Structure 1
Amino acid sequence: MAGSPILRVAIRGETMPKKGVEPVRREQLIRATFQTIDEIGMADATVATIAKKAGLSSGIVAHYFGDKDGLLNAAMRQILRELKDAVARYRADASDDPREQLRAIVDGNFDDSQINGTAMRVWLTFWAASMHQPELARLQRANDQRLFSNLCHQFNRLLPHPQARLAARGLAAMIDGLWLRGSLVGGQFNAEKSRRIAYGYIDFQLQAVAL
């Protein structure tokens, strides 16, 4: 109806108020970005192809994100939030014991949201792009620092500070390395094997504490 304050949007068969449209469209575009990168890669992804995948116009992309780089930055922020949320869930379910908290951080990094085929291709794309795009590089550095800080805090509870920092650096590198190797070998990512290897590293670093 003309002049109506309600903009009708078909989302799960419901009518959505106009003020609720923006987050839905932003989510549509970000998910379409993931799908487009998964299917054709970032180099061939254009505003037009992403908008088409989302079933929206290119003008909507410009309105919400400015340009392709703005959309890619938003997409990376989204996958970083999903990683942060996954880690938080596992940590909340674990006891406060430092060893269990370290294992929970490992589990969050190998959560299905981070190791499914689309997520792995998107992560690899962002890692490569971050070498040339300052904003993506900044987001990647912030993610690296968060991981190191979380690991270091837990190791610090049981180890001398210098040793805790080294242990945290090593575990962060192992998590990234296991993830990268798993993403490149093809086939199903063996999350359980990766977890066992990382758990073994944690146990090795903390073995003196148990003596």
Structure 2
Amino acid sequence: MPKVGMEPVRKKQLIEATLEVMAEVGYHGTTISLISKRAGLSSGIISHYFGDKQGLIEATMRHLLDALKITQRIDDPLERIDFIIENNFSQTQGASSATNTWFNFWALSLHNEGLHRLQCINHKRLERNLAFSYRKLLQPEQVKNAAASTSALIDGYWLRYSMGSVGNGDFSEAVARCKQYVRDLVAQYGR
């Protein structure tokens, strides 16, 4: 009989182990056995909590997506957009284990319905959160384009900086560029 209250602890252990294993060996090298060994748990616990490897991968992606949620109230729309930008370039999202998992996630989402659904949710959430703030800053006809462009800029810079083609994993320049883009939009199309 499992110990009461251990489920959240065990799930967290397995998700963290999944991030580490995927960072080391990629999705195709990731096995239930490697994950359970890394977590120091039996392989049967993965089936018990997640059903299978795919269920655990999806839970791992939800874990990364949850880290992007806005959990505090920010009334100033420009400060809110800054927070969104900073959050997308946070240490959590830029850690090598998270970075490698994101790369795998994006590739797999092209062919996996469950992961594709999570990617669509993430994309829509980012644009919706940006649009919410842009509505208070820009002329109405500029909001949708501004949200889509800012979202693409965040994703593009995150990808370039994560791959080390620029910035060597230091996101500070990417954050500054995204924030400057927002300020340029507000200066050009602001109310």
**Residue 12 of structure 1 aligns with which residue?**
none
CA deviation digits over 1:102-147, x for unaligned, max 9?
Answer: 1111111111111121111111111111111101110111011010
Q: Does 1:189 align with 2:169?
A: yes
**Distance change (3 Å), C-alpha of 1:66 and 1:172:** same
**Residue 100 of structure 1 aligns with which residue?**
79
1:36 maps to a residue whose letter is V
2:109 maps to a residue whose letter is S
In the TM superposition, residue 50 of structure 1 has moved relative to its aligned partner by 0.9
**Residue 185 of structure 2 aligns with which residue?**
205
**Residue 138 of structure 1 aligns with which residue?**
117
Percent identical across equivalent pairs?
Answer: 40
In the TM superposition, residue 27 of structure 1 has moved relative to its aligned partner by 1.1
**Which of 32, 48, 71 is the matching residue for 1:88?**
71
Question: In the alignment, is the contact (CA less than 8 A) between 1:83 and 1:113 conserved in 2?
Answer: no
Question: In the alignment, is the contact (CA less than 8 A) between 2:19 and 2:97 conserved in 1?
Answer: yes
Residues of 2 paired with 1:164 and 1:210: CA distance?
10
Residues of 1 paired with 2:190 and 2:120: CA distance?
34
Structure of greater Rg: 1
Residues of 1 paired with 2:113 and 2:190: CA distance?
44
- Matched residue count: 190
Q: Which runs of 5+ in 2 are unaligned?
A: none
In the TM superposition, residue 188 of structure 1 has moved relative to its aligned partner by 3.8
Q: Which runs of 4+ in 1 moved over 3 A?
A: 208-211
Residues of 2 paired with 1:188 and 1:173: CA distance?
20
Residues of 2 paired with 1:189 and 1:210: CA distance?
33
Question: In the alignment, is the contact (CA less than 8 A) between 2:22 and 2:30 conserved in 1?
Answer: yes
**Residue 134 of structure 2 aligns with which residue?**
155
**TM-score, length basis structure 1:** 0.84
Residues of 1 paired with 2:34 and 2:121: CA distance?
30
Residues of 1 paired with 2:21 and 2:142: CA distance?
43
**Residue 39 of structure 1 aligns with which residue?**
24
Residues of 1 paired with 2:103 and 2:172: CA distance?
21
